[in-house]
Amino acid sequence: MNKTAILSTKRKDIKYLIALDKAFVGIGKRRTAEIISSGLSFEDAWLKHSKLSSQKNLSFLEKLNEESAKIDPDEEMARLERLKISFTTVFDEDYPAMLKEIFSPPTILYYGGALDVLSENVLAIVGSRKFTNYGKEATKKIVAELAEAGIVIASGMALGIDTIAHETALKSGGKTVAVLGCGLNTPYPATNANLFKKIIEEGGLAVSEYPPGVPPLRQNFPARNRIIAGVSLGSIIIEANQRSGALITARDALEQNRDVFAVPGPIFHQSSSGTNQLLKMGANLITSGQDILDFYGHKAKPKKATTKPGNETEEIIFKVLEGEEKHIDDIIKESRKESQLIISTLTLMEIKGKVKNLGGMVYVLV
């Protein structure tokens, strides 16, 4: 028996809560709290609107009547079944414990995948959609170290740093949680549809407070961010300017009494102005996943064997590139070798997966 069937037998009026949740998408989710405080059952609230505590708010009641006329509670339950979308409510034992602690937790959490990953150690990774090579490599390094240590990575599946975080977690053999600002039947952005599917197939989780059919409206994403922070021990801001939505997640984490970490960036780049500002305000400065593991006293798993140089020239290049990225001109200069030898060796090392060209002939060790 799937989750939908279990809940429908446990609470006979659960279908009315599902119907109310859909009706309230365009009205305001705080109305659910009014229903709870009114003492009405979900069935009565659905069938007898006039008994709600907001009965003096005629415009609200008119809107609810208008929306409810379009919704069949039984059909909404059947639709979740067809779409293979499960759900848990704030009244249920399997509702994520950390999320229940935040202000205004989602009354219903719709999900696909393994909900129990939220009972593990979860950390949020967020950042700019318009990332730099620095932000990309920092994300890959930090997420890989955390995922290999068994940390679950949560993010918003947006383009940019979010997508890199999810993909790196999966490539590192870890689990990841995608929190969406729309219904789960239409993952957003559409270009991440395969990533959405892979997250679920590989033991991860996709969640949303929005019922199927809700589009990715602009106003949904700030609300989505509180869930990303809410399911996590702390939030890591990789790269963000001072107007980035990632800073909303940092604010939500602080309001929820969760930890905030930030990666420092170049002082001349707007892409790091937000993270540098967070550090000025007291966020925890980190430059690796190990910094976070140390912060929580989390024991890392044994590291994988590192790539070794295959000859003398490769060994020199390894030493030159150790700990930082460098342009090919600097590599040639510091190696004190013939330029053609360095160029051909770097080409072979890139083919072997030992170094990576970040663009513009700037290389970094893999």
Beta bridge partner(s), residue 19: none
CB atoms under 10 Å from CB of 297, counted, come to 6
How far apart are alpha carbons 69 and 265 in whole angstroms?
A: 53
Q: Backbone dihedral region of 267: left (phi > 0), alpha (psi from -120 to 50 degrees) or beta?
A: alpha
How far apart are alpha carbons 334 and 50 in whole angstroms?
A: 79
The pLDDT score that the predictor gives to residue 4 is 43
Q: Which residue do the tokens 């599917």 mark?
A: 197
Cα-Cα-Cα-Cα dihedral sign, residues 156, 4, 29, 104: negative
How far apart are alpha carbons 364 and 366 in whole angstroms?
A: 6
Asked if residues 310 and 278 have their Cβ atoms less than 8 Å apart, the reply is no
**Among 158, 154, 50, 30, which Cα is nearest to 103's?**
30
How far apart are alpha carbons 51 and 21 in whole angstroms?
A: 18
The pLDDT score that the predictor gives to residue 33 is 64
Q: How far apart are the first and last CA of the chain?
A: 46
- Could you tell me the domains of the chain? 3-83 (no CATH), 115-296 (3.40.50.450), 312-365 (1.10.10.10)
**Among 169, 195, 170, which Cα is nearest to 180's?**
195
How far apart are alpha carbons 149 and 121 in whole angstroms?
A: 10
Mean pLDDT of the chain: 86
Interaxial angle between packed helices 289-296 and 133-148, expressed in degrees from 0 to 180 and rounded to the nearest 10: 40
Q: What is the spatial order of strands in the sheet that 205-208 belongs to?
A: 86-89, 108-113, 205-208, 176-179, 152-155, 122-126, 234-237, 259-262, 284-285
The pLDDT score that the predictor gives to residue 165 is 97
**Among 167, 170, 156, 169, which Cα is nearest to 244's?**
156
β-strands 176-179, 152-155: how paired?
parallel
**Among 174, 121, 357, 142, which Cα is nearest to 239's?**
142
Asked if residues 270 and 116 have their Cβ atoms less than 8 Å apart, the reply is no
Asked if residues 178 and 155 have their Cβ atoms less than 8 Å apart, the reply is yes
How far apart are alpha carbons 319 and 111 in whole angstroms?
A: 47
Q: Is the pTM of this model over 0.85?
A: no
Residues with pLDDT less than 50, the chain: 1-10, 55, 302-305
The pLDDT score that the predictor gives to residue 32 is 65
How far apart are alpha carbons 253 and 293 in whole angstroms?
A: 18
List Cα–Cα distances, 131 to 138, 144, 146, 238, 336, in angstroms: 11, 18, 20, 10, 34
List Cα–Cα distances, 249 to 82, 189, 221, 231, 366, in angstroms: 33, 19, 10, 12, 30
β-strands 326-327, 259-262: how paired?
unpaired
Beta bridge partner(s), residue 89: 108
